[in-house]
């Protein structure tokens, strides 16, 4: 006997599969591998992100993104499009999560090097760090700060994102100038980065200690 609810579910899924993805208008600006990653990110239940040098993309303000991208992107028009893409991605991850349609849990470890490295004018960094403090207060966000005093660790040169799913294997995205998404036969690589994350959580500061480190960095960007 045919289950009407199951039929409706399959029909809805088929219709959804034919709809263009939200990032389709930016297709000319992004690499195919990153477009594949965005598809995984859209469906993820959890996200863990670490970058040893700059602020993770999902946490960047528009001004910070523009200042960072302008260093390597020669066209102002392309920079503007990439900043717009990043902001839409951030809105979907954070704002949609407030009504149960986005990523339910987001975990970030932000390196002190990223907190103190000046990207753009001092006012850009102040705005970025103030937004950090606001993000840290969101109930579905776990934001930790990794101080210089933590020393060396296995992920020191390896920016990465781990995406978790309810009914599927985790996916690893290795960031960099040419990023790449893990394949289904790279379970050992994914497991290794879970170990990296576990160590990062152990040595990073959370709660009031993380906010105190952010405040210290904020003071260094106060204009005379």
Higher pLDDT, 213 or 11: 213
Q: What percentage of the chain reaches a pLDDT higher than 70? A: 85
Q: What is the side-by-side strand order in the sheet with 46-51? A: 141-146, 105-111, 46-51, 160-164, 171-174, 180-181
Per-residue pLDDT band at 100 (split at 50, 70, 90): low
CA 51, CA 62: separation in Å to the nearest integer? 18
CATH number of 28-219: 3.30.870
Mean of the pLDDT values across residues 94-106? 69
The answer for 15, left when phi > 0, alpha when psi is -120 to 50, beta otherwise, is: alpha
Between 23-27, 41-45, 55-59, 169-173, the lowest mean confidence (pLDDT) is in 23-27
Query: If 0-12 CB within 10 Å is exposed, 13-18 middle and 19+ buried, where does residue 139 land?
Result: exposed
| pLDDT over threshold 60, residue 9 | no
* Residue 138 confidence (pLDDT): 87
């Amino acid at each position: 006997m045919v289950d009407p609810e199951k039929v409706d579910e399959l029909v809805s899924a088929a219709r959804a599969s034919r709809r263009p993805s939200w990032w389709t208008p930016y297709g000319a600006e992004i690499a195919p591998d990153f477009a594949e990653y965005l598809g995984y990110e859209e469906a993820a239940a959890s996200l863990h992100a670490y970058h040893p040098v700059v602020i993770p993309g999902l946490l960047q303000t528009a001004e910070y993104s523009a200042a960072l991208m302008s260093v390597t992107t020669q066209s102002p028009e392309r920079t503007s499009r990439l900043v717009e893409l990043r902001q839409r991605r951030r809105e979907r991850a954070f704002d949609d999560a407030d009504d149960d349609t986005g990523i339910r849990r987001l975990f970030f470890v932000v390196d002190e090097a990223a907190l103190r490295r000046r990207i753009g004018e001092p006012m850009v960094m102040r705005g970025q760090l103030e937004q950090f403090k606001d993000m840290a207060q969101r109930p579905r966000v776990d934001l930790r700060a990794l101080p210089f005093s933590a020393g060396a660790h296995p992920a020191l040169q390896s920016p990465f994102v781990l995406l978790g799913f309810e009914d599927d294997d985790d996916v690893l995205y290795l960031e960099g100038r040419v990023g790449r998404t893990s394949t289904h036969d790279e379970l050992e690589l994914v497991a290794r980065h879970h170990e990296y994350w576990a160590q990062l959580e152990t040595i990073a500061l959370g709660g009031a200690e993380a906010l105190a480190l952010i405040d210290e960095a904020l003071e260094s960007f106060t204009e005379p």
